[in-house]
Structure 1
């Protein structure tokens, strides 16, 4: 069974149909052995072979199993579980955000060991340009989804207007690094660092935000905290069936510019 899973995992991770030699190489087994498994899997619909190219791909049975597994997955609960794990690894508070009608909406707060004098209530929405979670959504969602909220925020806040002027550079940095960070914005004296996790076929990410006193997020440990955060969101994406290796959803490449 473990050998068979090597083949199925190799095909799933490739993200495209594969030749027999590619399956063999990725699954680390001889072509003759890989072929026997592919034939067996094909009989029960777990793999299929294209008649024109002879390439192999995951079959209809695997798609049914995957769809049912995703249907049973509570995405927010999964994100909350990862948030608590991230809290335990870093000692810092971790928030979980979803996209709502009013923007980034807080759905879970895993309290850390370090006291933050003011907290944001569950169900509260944060600004787009003034929060690290908001910057993640601005960097990943299409303009049509954020324009109304963004225009209202810029019109109401001169500081937001200034931030918007520099957003192209900010977005480029976020996509390069895989996370966004702000300090002294939503909460004075507090820094927040956010990264995105995508579920399968869903262009709207969940966002995990690590929240800590500004004095505890300095140059000497910022990179390490960011590494732990982005590693956590990659694992969450993979658990939800999404692409854990990219900041933007598959097939997107289109954030707000």
Structure 2
């Protein structure tokens, strides 16, 4: 006679299902931007039929999607939304504090973090070097776009629409000052 499953067994099964689903989501992330069912099944070491059932549930909830042209699977909009929410909860300055001080110690140079603000590259935290002569900058300082290494990094990686106005102002000021 078959043994009836207890409520505890059913709860464990639901938790195991959640674990399998998250394993498949992680695999989709690792194999991104998209992957075939067979490659995904091989990656998670499960039968393709089982992975397919989980993918159908993930697609229905928006966490995965299937490309109609290739039949490949990838992460869906809900996975993006959850990822962005997690990123938004990270205190970047707190995470960067230890590596910043380690860099300062290794180089014996002042180090800082700048973010792109409404006026340009803005210093938000500083780890000053411990020596007689150092380059001094202050929190809140706005660095030039065209004549500072920090500004040049932002100019290189930000979309041009973000920097064009500041670039044009600085170019005009440099030409008038020359």
Q: 1:146 aligns with which of 163, 170, 178?
A: 163
Q: 1:74 to 1:19 in 2, by over 3 A?
A: same
Asked if residue 98 in structure 1 is aligned to residue 98 in structure 2, the reply is no
Matches within 5 A, 1:1-257: 7-24=24-41, 27=43, 29-30=44-45, 32=47, 36-37=50-51, 39-40=53-54, 42-43=56-57, 45=61, 47-48=63-64, 50=66, 52=68, 53-59=70-76, 61-157=78-174
- Higher Rg: 2
Go from structure 1 to structure 2 and tell me whether the alpha carbon gap of 1:40 and 1:88 turns closer, same or farther (over 3 Å shift).
farther
Q: Distance in 2 between matches of 1:5 and 1:89?
A: 39
- Secondary structure (helix, strand or coil) at the match of 1:109 reads strand
RMSD: 3.5
| Deviation of the 1:136 alpha carbon | 0.6
How big is each residue's C-alpha offset from its partner over 1:53-89, in whole Å with a ceiling of 9 and x where there is no partner?
4322224553443232123223344344542343355
Q: CA deviation at 1:137?
A: 1.3
Gaps of 5+ in 2: 1-15
Aligned residue for 1:67, secondary structure, equals helix
Q: 2:9 corresponds to which residue?
A: none
How far has the Cα of 1:131 moved from its partner?
Answer: 1.1
> What secondary structure, in the 3-state scheme, does the structure 2 residue paired with 1:122 have?
coil
Gaps of 5+ in 1: 162-257
* TM-score for both structures, normalised by structure 1: 0.48
- The alignment covers a number of residue pairs equal to 157
- Considering Cα pairs closer than 8 Å and 6+ residues apart, tell me whether 1 or 2 has the greater RCO: 1
Q: Tell me the CA shift for residue 37 of structure 1.
A: 4.5
Q: Deviations over 1:18-71 (max 9, x none)?
A: 11233245x3x5462x65345336536485352834322224553443232123
